[in-house]
Amino acid sequence: MGRRPITPSPYLQETNLSDPIEPVGLIVIDKPSGMTSHDVVARVRRMLRMKRVGHGGALDPFATGVLPIAVGRATRILQYVQGSSKTYEVVAHLGEETDSGDIDGVVVASADIEVWPGPDVVGTTLERFVGEIEQVPPALSAIKVHGVPLHRRVRAGEQVVVPSRRVSIYSIDVVQYVPPELQLRVDCSSGTYIRALVRDIGRVLGCYAYCTGLRRTRTGPFTIEQSWTLERLAEHDLCANWRQVMLPMDAAVLHLPAIELGQADADRWYHGRSLSVSIHVPEGGIQRVRVYAPKGKFAGIGEVDLSGGLIPQFVIPAGDAW
């Protein structure tokens, strides 16, 4: 009794009348080209005059688009964002390959093209990359080997062997093809390197390719339509008006089933105690859920086992704003 699966709106939750000591929530930033993801975090830290700020999945400096930023206690929810699928708009330049796979690299291979691959050949080639594939990331990447990013090893003159990884490409659509430019829309799993995908497509086409434009339009539930540019943010006093900008923490986990607790169980939850709930759990596994206290107040993330036991994984104190 007192427990029922629900799907409350994260944007209509009851909050305390008084703000917490510091802002708490998520900001979707439209990252500009030329900045690292850490540069964006540093800029938001200065705007808010606080240190507890993090991002939910790095973008290459030349890339633009969706960069989820978490503020305050919301940084703990980033672990549930970083593994989300992504959508990108991509511009590939055919005919050459660079060492980095993008416009910042040095040309290492080129093709003498008399006739560019036709649309049918391009379409057939792209189909080969849809599904689960083995991908070798660019050597000039932030992947760490023995604790050191690959790009540092390469620039220090080391000969590196880049480990391959399994990634999933859910779809690749041609937006426009006017040789030597090929514009694509790619929906893929976390961990996919679009620079490597473009490189490999160019190799299969027999004409090489590198990435000249990359824009992330979605990360998990966050889209470019929700985003703020840094210029727009600078026009706000975030410390005073953060509620006008930030999304509540549960906006990051809307894909999870939701459970609302009665008051007695909510009290147990806030003390970190396990509960018994009724919700479908996949056979042989566990079900991660978002948990709400009475009146739809987001209370954290839990995991339900096959016996119906709800074990707290991330508990938001009862007095927090969201």
Active site residues: 60
* Residue whose token pair is 């390719």: 209
> Which of 217, 20, 201, 204 has its CA nearest to residue 93?
201
Question: Where do the H-state alpha helices sit in 164-306?
Answer: 194-205, 230-234, 238-245, 263-270
φ, ψ of residue 55 to 5 degrees: the values are -115, 160
Residue 46, both tokens: 């200065």
Q: Token digits for 295?
A: 């009146």
What crossing angle do the helices spanning 37-48 and 238-245 adopt, rounded to 10°?
120
Determine the length of the chain: 322
| Phi, psi angle pair for 260, to nearest 5° | -105, 130
What are 112's two structure tokens? Answer: 């003498």
145 beta partners: 148
Question: Backbone phi, then psi, for 193, in 5-degree steps?
Answer: -95, 110
| Alpha helices (H) along 140-193 | 150-155
- 3-state secondary structure string across 58-104: CCCCCCEEEEEEEEHHHHHHHHHCCCCCEEEEEEEEECEEECCCECC
* Counts for the chain of helices (H) and strands (E), in that order: 7, 19
